[in-house]
Structure 1
Amino acid sequence: MDDLGKLRKKIDEIDEKMLDLLNKRAKIVLEVAGLKQDKNSVFYAPDRERKIIERLKALNSGPFPDDALKVVFREIISASLSMEKPLEVACLGPLATFTHLAGVRHFGSSARFLPVNSIREVFEAVENSQADYGIVPIENSTEGVVSYTLDMFVDFDLNITAEVMLEISHNLLSVSGKVEDIKKIYSHPQAFAQCRTWLERNLPDVQIFDSTSTSKAAELAAGDPTSAAIASELAAKTYNLEFVHRNIEDNKKNYTRFLVISKSVAPKTGNDKTSIMFTIKDRPGALYDILTPFKKSKINLKKIESRPSRRKAWEYIFFVDMEGHIDDKAVKKAIENITDNCLYLKFLGSYPLGE
């Protein structure tokens, strides 16, 4: 046996050991599931998942990269969880959109994703127990806040239990993968806007057609060898498309923040964020009086956003993200101290900081 053959044999032996260990792990997972069922415990514990991955990253001496380690173990945890109780996750459809991709990044591919037609339907699916969790876009680093998502927190009593930061990477996809075959391109208007300069420089004469989503664009391109789509890597896999060009977005630092919503509450991890919403009395200095307790408690406010309340003309609802967990004394005290100055105050959730 030559040197290459010997090395491949060693890899095969390691793979067999890994398989044996995965099955041993799976058996213990099933035992844990039985105990959880007896105690009526919550099956999905994202804080526990984060601790597992952080512990392994701390132990990792390389050369296996930390990012890859995170992906591998998230899939192991996802598959294990599906053996206990498959998670139902509502997301803005169709499948293979960036919202779906954010869901896969957070829950792993073993979760069952329920595609719905609107952000409101994501909230409704969770509220009506059709899904355990929902995932919705909240803001993009170039396009700003998704106002409709903020409005839904007024209408529904659900908690934010996690946030997902997804780097938005647009790819030009087609059946053949050859640029000379492309006569037209499909995509969502926002994707076209984010790739405008690249398209003008590289494909100025190709016709562009709007679609309802990047995933729908990929579906259309899959049925027409003369067309292409601007869509995600997940869409390429879903619709068996080839890459013509990767990463054609004009802004290479384009991120979208997604929120995970549910009826449950996320436990404290020590690296958390808290979100609230409130309306204030119409008088001079009202907003200053709201913000002062946070300054006194040395709480860092990460974001302040306002929206019309839709209940009264010129009344606004303020949405605030802050560092810390509601179980932190300083956070709890600051929120208690602003209550008297609010006409309305609602706790939206404390959750681990997104990565």
Structure 2
Amino acid sequence: MAKKTLDELRIEIDALDKEIQSLIGARAELASAVAEVKKASEDQSVFYRPEREAQVLRKIIDRNDNWLKDKDMAHIFREIMSACLALEQPLNIAYLGPEGTFTQEAALKHFGHAVSTLDCGSIDEIFHQVEKGNAHYGVVPIENSSNGVIGGTVDMLYSQGLKICGEVEISIQHQLMMADQAQEIKAIYAHQQALDQCQRWLSNHYPNAELKPVASNALAARIVKDEPHAAAIASEAALSLYVLERVAKNIEDKTGNVTRFLVLANEEVAPSGK
């Protein structure tokens, strides 16, 4: 049997794309119908069901036996589900800002990109925004594999009444960036935790640079965008968001650095069955 030509393969791909698009549209129509049923029922206030979502994603991974990795297949369906849920009730998610933080990355990984986000200046503020109803859910860091438990989050969990309804893990890889990498680096901005996690690398490569702790790595990236001779340690997302130049990649002293985040809500969540 003769191999298909490039044009023939592209025609088949285009046909599949059209079919996939039609099926996604059908799913969105059903999601809208679900929303109407919920509005007419006594349970109309509960549009987002994390336990139901977890069950769906687990089934998708369990039956995945094709070319795509489990995590990639789950990511695709995560975004489809996020877009469909937005038709029912757009969610507002509070996270530790500003834009470009690992906490924002965790929020979007868990909820998908079809949500509104509310960046908060502190962990305390995330709790308060959810408690006051200004955000449906909050995402906060709870534990890092290098630095241990996040004390501020633990304190708020004990003192406030929010419920844990999910967890997210993010692989932490630190990038060194600046506005113009041709300049000499005299100062390096980052969250203290990031400075600690990159201490050996920094002392080997920039022993004379002044290390300046700030509230978040994303804030560091925003600062150096307009400050000459200054670099920031931040995420890949911050590098793109603030249009900076990469000086060095993955500068953390230990590989396999992971941060665990909690998803918080005012309501209890039913078990997912796992």
Q: Same fold (TM over 0.5)?
A: yes
- 1:5 is matched with 7
In structure 2, which of residues 154, 157, 167 is the aligned counterpart of residue 153 of structure 1? 157
For residue 29 of structure 1, the aligned residue among 4, 9, 31 is: 31
Q: Report the Cα offset of residue 228 of structure 1.
A: 2.8
Q: Percent identity?
A: 39
Counterpart selection for 1:94 from 98, 106, 109: 98
Corresponding residue of 2:251: 248
One-letter code aligned to 1:54: R
Q: Do the aligned residues in 1 keep the contact of 2:52 with 2:272 (CA within 8 Å)?
A: no
Q: CA deviation at 1:205?
A: 4.3
SS in 2 for 1:223: coil
The one of 181, 187, 191 equivalent to 2:190 is 187
- Whether 2:79 is the aligned partner of 1:75: answer yes
Amino acid of the structure 2 residue aligned with 1:230:
I
Distance 1:55 1:4 in 2: 34
Structure 1, residues 303-343: CA drift from partner, whole Å, max 9, x if none? xxxxxxxxxxxxxxxxxxxxxxxxxxxxxxxxxxxxxxxxx
Query: C-alpha separation between the residues in 1 aligned to 2:206 and 2:15?
Result: 49
Distance 1:262 1:242, change over 3 A: same
Q: What displacement does 1:155 show?
A: 2.5
Q: Structure 1 residue 259 and structure 2 residue 262: aligned?
A: yes
Describe the SS at the equivalent of 1:185: strand
CA distance in 1, matches of 2:263, 2:151: 16
Give the Cα separation in 2 of the matches to 1:242 and 1:147. 33
Equivalents in 2 of 1:63, 1:182: separation in Å? 46
Deviation, 1:225, is: 6.4
Pick the aligned partner of 2:54 from 33, 41, 50: 50
- Bigger radius of gyration among the two: 1
State how far apart, in whole Å, the 2-side matches of 1:185 and 1:147 are: 25
Q: How far off its partner does 1:13 sit?
A: 2.5
1:38 aligned to 2:40? yes
Q: What SS does the corresponding residue of 1:15 show, helix, strand or coil?
A: helix
Cα distance, 1:67 vs. partner? 1.3
Counterpart among 214, 232, 254 of residue 229 in structure 1: 232
1:216 aligns with 2:209: no
Which one-letter code corresponds to 2:25 in the other structure?
A: N
Matched pairs, number: 268
Residue 192 of structure 1: SS of its match in structure 2?
helix
User: Are 1:105 and 2:109 an aligned pair?
Assistant: yes
Name the structure 2 match of 1:350. Answer: none
Residue segments in structure 1 that go unaligned for 5+ positions in a row:
272-355
Say whether the 8 Å CA contact 1:188–1:213 is kept in structure 2. yes
Partner of 1:305: none
3-state SS of the aligned residue for 2:170? strand
* Bigger strand fraction: 1
Shift of 1:142: 1.7
Deviation at 1:224, TM superposition (A): 4.5
State the Cα deviation string for residues 149-195 of structure 1 (Å, max 9, x = none): 2221333222111122222111123345x5x4452432112111101
SS in structure 2 opposite 1:90?
strand
Give 2:97's aligned amino acid. G
Ranges in structure 2 where 5+ consecutive residues have no aligned partner: none
Whole-Å separation in 1 of the counterparts to 2:244 and 2:27: 36
- RMSD of equivalent CA atoms: 2.1
Per-residue deviation at 1:93? 1.7
The amino acid of 2:23's aligned partner reads: L
Quick one: which amino acid aligns to residue 13 of structure 2? I
Report the secondary structure of 2:100's partner residue.
coil
What is the deviation of 1:35? 0.8
Distance 1:102 1:71 in 2: 13
Kept in 1, the 8 Å contact 2:55–2:273? The answer is: no
In structure 1, distance between residues paired with 2:77 and 2:229: 40
Shift of 1:8: 2.9
Q: Indicate how the Cα distance of structure 1 residues 151 and 208 shifts in structure 2: closer, same or farther if over 3 A, else same.
A: closer
Post-superposition shift, 1:206? Answer: 4.1
For normalisation by structure 1, the TM-score amounts to: 0.70
